[in-house]
Amino acid sequence: MGDMVNKTVVFLAVDGFEARAFEALWQCFGWQKNAATRIASFNADDQVKSVDGLVNTHSDMSFAEASEMTFDVLVVADGVTANAIMNDQAAMTAFMNANDHRAAIVSVGDGVKALIAAGIASGRTIAAPSDLRDELMRAGITPSDQPMAASDNIFSASGEADLRALCDVVSDYITGLEEEVA
């Protein structure tokens, strides 16, 4: 599995986020894959605390700053964050710019709602919770029957997926892009 030294993974998170997928992916990308990990929220230095209180940190950039960056991976790992950012123009711009630059875009569970709001998921196959099936289809998305899906540069998990495997697939995609350029 590809090492992600010199790669940047930006996690979008808001206060009250759901930590399970966030923590698993943070550990995988940051500690196991050696990527630089950053957190974007509404403002730089926002307190970002999980709903269960187990994760309590601060963002190191705003959504507006993230929208102006070029990074390798953009993650929305929960529905609380997705619902909070759907009407935030800077967050939506971060998704659109990441998509334009072929960055890996990762959604877990209800995080797919942010991809729908950004208008970048139509025509793709996405893994998401079964209760979102109709919403996905209305947005022109093919719901995956598997717990994990990869469609172009969008990587998604329904919530029951092996998040380490998702991280590995994303890492392979990013290191594969690097090999294409070399």
Q: Over the stretch 32-60, which tens digit does the pLDDT of each residue have?
A: 999 999 999 999 999 999 999 989 999 99
- pLDDT of 178 over the 70 cut: no
CATH of span 8-181: 3.40.50.880
Nearest to 37 by CA among 47, 27, 49: 27
Q: For residue 160, what pLDDT is reported?
A: 76
Inform me whether the pLDDT recorded for 124 exceeds 80: yes
- Of 121, 174, 170, 176, nearest in space to 21 by CA: 170
Residue 159 — very low, low, confident or very high, per pLDDT cuts 50/70/90?
A: confident
End-to-end CA distance of the chain: 18
| Domain ranges across the chain | 8-181
pLDDT tens, residue by residue, 63-114: 999 999 999 999 999 999 999 999 999 999 999 999 999 999 999 999 999 9
Contact (Cβ atoms closer than 8 angstroms) between residue 143 and residue 128 = yes
Q: What percentage of residues in the chain have a pLDDT greater than 70?
A: 96
Average pLDDT, integer, range 7-12: 98
Q: What is the model's pLDDT at position 180?
A: 59
pLDDT number for residue 17: 96
Question: What DSSP character marks residue 33?
Answer: S
pTM: 0.95
Nearest to 8 by CA among 31, 32, 29: 29
Q: Does 182 have pLDDT greater than 60?
A: no
Mean pLDDT of the chain: 94
Residues whose CB is less than 8 angstroms from the CB of residue 147 and which lie 6 or more positions away in sequence, other chains included? 127, 157, 158, 159, 160, 161, 162
Residues 6+ apart with CB under 8 A from 118: 91, 92, 95, 96, 99
Q: Is 123 within 8 Å of 140 (Cβ atoms)?
A: yes
Q: What pLDDT is recorded for position 96?
A: 98
Q: Are 8 and 71 in contact (CB under 8 A)?
A: yes
